[in-house]
Amino acid sequence: MENKKLRSSNWFGRQGKDGFIYRAWMKNQGIPGYEFNNKPIIGICNTWSELTPCNAHFRDLAESVKRGVLEAGGFPVEFPVMSLGETLMKPTAMLYRNLASMDVEESIRANPLDGVVLLCGCDKTTPALVMGACSVDIPAIVVSGGPMLTGRYKGNSIGTSDIWRFFSDLRGDLIKEEELLSIEASMCRSPGHCAVMGTASSMACMVESLGLSLPNNASIPAADSRRKVLAQLSGLRIVDMVKEDLKPSDILTRQAFENAIRVNAAIGGSTNFVIHLLAIAGRVGVPLNLNDFDRLSSGIPLIANLQPSGQYFMEDFYYAGGLQVVIKHLEQLLHKACITVNGKTIQQNYADATCYNTDVITTTGNPFNDLTGLAILSGNLCENGAVIKPSAASPHLMQHTGKAVVFDSIEDYHARIDSDDLEVDESSILVLKNVGPKGYPGMPEVGNMSLPKKLIQKGVKDMVRISDGRMSGTGFGTVVLHVSPEAATGNNFAVIRTGDLITLDVPNRLINVALSDEELADRKSKFIPPEPPVSRGYASLYADHVQQAHLGADMDFLRGRSGNKVTRDSH
């Protein structure tokens, strides 16, 4: 260790005026001189914010990380980065994922850091921090905030996925507005992120299956004292990772990505997983495309019985043995030699995993659902693909032809969906345009739009819905998402009209509109691009540079790594 020159020595190990300046200001925090003597400087990258309720307990968690770093002889420095709260941010937290990733990347590179602990929780905070850290490529370990305890209402377990049901019931006059006030006070009753296998939990499972966190990171509830233990152990471990120079690029091989895709299928993970994993792969330069998701997840049955695809909650998942058990049960299908942050292989980490509840986690021989987690569709409606989650869809709609009812914007949808005059029945296909990355901008989670009130009252529970937007990882239904290229680009999806006949055929992975190439070409030649929704600032930069969904919706100028080179001096 003593012999190895740390990255941070380019600041704190300097002589003369520069070294004086680097150290003198840090000393206003009461730091003794010996701390600057070639100790690994560990950044704790914190997305704490009271505006991100899922991450509001992170100051506490950071303290546990610091204890571990100190114990291992490192020098912890906590720093804030932009936090992304899924519930409050308009027009969608997704618009800011790339911005937060840039904040993380530049904060790490510009500062005297040798390693970094990433505190991630609410949906977008995980991919943003991982993307940023991968772009710099210094040793990094993820500590997730953990899921909330299961919500409890009138003796029943409730969680985020139930919101769609509550509001469908309200639209059908099955429950009263007053009751919702009691429900909203019962659902989020502890620190942590959404308690189902939504996007946040899928992201926590993603980092664990990629090998970027210690085992058990995905499932320990935020309120469980073992979450703090994990944080402390992660702080302890990152110091050794610096000594070993174990970097994200050593862990994030093509095989690690393949493992993550298979695990996500087996847990019924979020459709947003596709977009975020593609973006991460783009940063580390691992070739990955949409078809990899279909090919690698086909034949992988659902073995975690968690909402929204199943019945249980993340708390149950942890008590049943957590992601370790899923990984062990998939062992034959995974690349066993992939290295993880603790220096062991994924197989070594999970060799002793035990299942304590077979209602929650089962085996591949006896799955909860034979349908794979995600299917990638192609056809003339989406030249670059689209995504559907069969395990959250209705079996009777998996092969379906119906007439399109087209909405040109989310405002158009809200204005007309409940109108008595809207010509729609349960065989219709609802199409929502201009909710893609450029068109919105930011690709909001509106793809699982509610059904027309008059059909809900008739007892209709599901219809085929298609959009260029996303869906909450907690959502469900026969919902085709991420249509690429999006409507705003003027490609085929842009020119679909009400009355066109659309065929969805999930077993054959097809989605087509019954229009000839000539008709499509003719309509496209008359396409008038919509006014750009924004004209200045970050949103405008985003709209100009964001890539389409099938490339992960990252900025074109952020693909690849810039590395951890120490740049020029500041004064």
Task: Indicate the burial class of 2 (C-beta count within 10 angstroms; 0-12, 13-18, 19 or more).
Answer: exposed
CB of 85 to Mg ion, least distance (A): 10
Q: Which is nearer to ligand FES, 88 or 415 (CB)?
A: 88
Q: Angle CA(403)–CA(163)–CA(158) in degrees, nearest 5?
A: 135
Residue 38 interacting entry, from ligand FES, Mg ion, none, C-beta within 5 to 8 Å by type: none
Nearest to 438 by CA among 386, 490, 385, 489: 489
Contact range with ligand FES by CB under 6 A, out of 28-36, 191-199, 349-357, 487-495: 191-199
Cβ partners under 8 Å of residue 187, min gap 6: 151, 153, 158, 159, 160, 162
Q: Which is nearer to Mg ion, 40 or 475 (CB)?
A: 475
Q: Which is nearer to ligand FES, 12 or 318 (CB)?
A: 318
Residue 54 interacting entry, from Mg ion, ligand FES, none, C-beta within 5 to 8 Å by type: ligand FES
CB of 276 to Mg ion, least distance (A): 11
Q: Which is nearer to ligand FES, 144 or 349 (CB)?
A: 144
CB of 198 to Mg ion, least distance (A): 6
Q: x/- string (CB under 6 A) for ligand FES, residues 120-139?
A: --xx----------------
Using DSSP bridges, classify how beta strands 429-432 and 464-467 pair: parallel, antiparallel or unpaired: parallel
Q: ω into residue 91 within 30 of 0, thus cis?
A: yes
Residue 49 interacting entry, from ligand FES, Mg ion, none, C-beta within 5 to 8 Å by type: none
Instruction: Report the alpha-carbon distance of residue 133 to residue 409 in Å, rounded.
Output: 35
Encoded tokens for 144 = 């997730």
Total residues at interface with ligand FES (CB under 6 A): 10
Q: Which is nearer to Mg ion, 38 or 391 (CB)?
A: 391
Cβ partners under 8 Å of residue 157, min gap 6: 150, 151, 313
CB of 122 to ligand FES, least distance (A): 3
Encoded tokens for 336 = 């066993």
Contact range with ligand FES by CB under 6 A, out of 193-201, 324-332, 426-434, 501-509: 193-201
Interacting residues with ligand FES between 138 and 167 (CB under 6 A): 160
**Site for ligand FES (CB under 6 A): which residue of 9, 78, 82, 86?**
86
CB of 198 to ligand FES, least distance (A): 6
Q: Which is nearer to ligand FES, 54 or 108 (CB)?
A: 54
Nearest to 263 by CA among 196, 193, 346: 346
Does residue 194 touch ligand FES according to CB under 6 A? Answer: yes
**Site for ligand FES (CB under 6 A): which residue of 44, 54, 108, 261?**
54
Instruction: Report the alpha-carbon distance of residue 512 to residue 518 in Å, rounded.
Output: 15
**E strand intervals along 86-208:** 115-120, 140-144, 151-153, 156-158
Distances (CA, A) of 534 to 441, 530, 531: 8, 11, 9
Residue 94 interacting entry, from ligand FES, Mg ion, none, C-beta within 5 to 8 Å by type: none
Q: Which is nearer to ligand FES, 122 or 136 (CB)?
A: 122
CB of 161 to ligand FES, least distance (A): 11
Q: Which is nearer to ligand FES, 198 or 442 (CB)?
A: 198
Which chain residues interact with Mg ion by CB under 5 A?
A: 86, 123, 199, 472
Residue 193 interacting entry, from Mg ion, ligand FES, none, C-beta within 5 to 8 Å by type: ligand FES
Residue 87 interacting entry, from ligand FES, Mg ion, none, C-beta within 5 to 8 Å by type: ligand FES
> How big is the chain, counted in residues?
571
Nearest to 272 by CA among 557, 560, 561, 553: 553
Q: Which is nearer to ligand FES, 83 or 547 (CB)?
A: 83
Nearest to 274 by CA among 254, 286, 253, 291: 291
Encoded tokens for 392 = 């959250």
Q: Which is nearer to Mg ion, 472 or 547 (CB)?
A: 472
Phi, psi of 350 (to 5 degrees): -110, 10
DSSP state of 394: -
Instruction: Report the alpha-carbon distance of residue 244 to residue 1 in Å, rounded.
Output: 9
**E strand intervals along 427-567:** 429-432, 464-467, 479-480, 501-505, 510-513
| Sites of contact with ligand FES (CB under 6 A) | 54, 86-87, 122-123, 160, 193-194, 198, 200
